[in-house]
Amino acid sequence: MPKMKSHSGSKKRFRFTASGKAKRQFSHKNHINIKMGSDRIRRLRGMTIVSDPDQKRIEALLPYGGK
């Protein structure tokens, strides 16, 4: 059976932890940030774990990503 292809857009957006959970960046921080408060911009920094329903979708898009 041939290899499955990974979704190219998802490869750029998600990383996996050592236990196989997907991490993502916070949204709403790409542009028009001048009107945001500094507290909000600071809160949107870094990565977070995706929700359980989204975890299944990401595993389907990236078959060789986690675990």
Q: What is the pLDDT along the chain (67 residues), one digit of tens a residue?
A: 899 999 999 999 999 999 999 999 999 999 999 999 999 999 999 999 999 999 999 999 999 987 6
- Residue 30 in domain: yes
Closest among 23, 25, 24, 16 to 66, alpha carbons compared: 16
Report the number of distinct structural domains present in the chain: 1
Write the CATH number for 18: 4.10.410.60
Domain that holds residue 26: 8-61
Q: Locate tokens 């945001």: which residue? A: 36
Are the CB atoms for 7 and 61 separated by under 8 Å? yes
- Whole-model pTM: value is 0.81
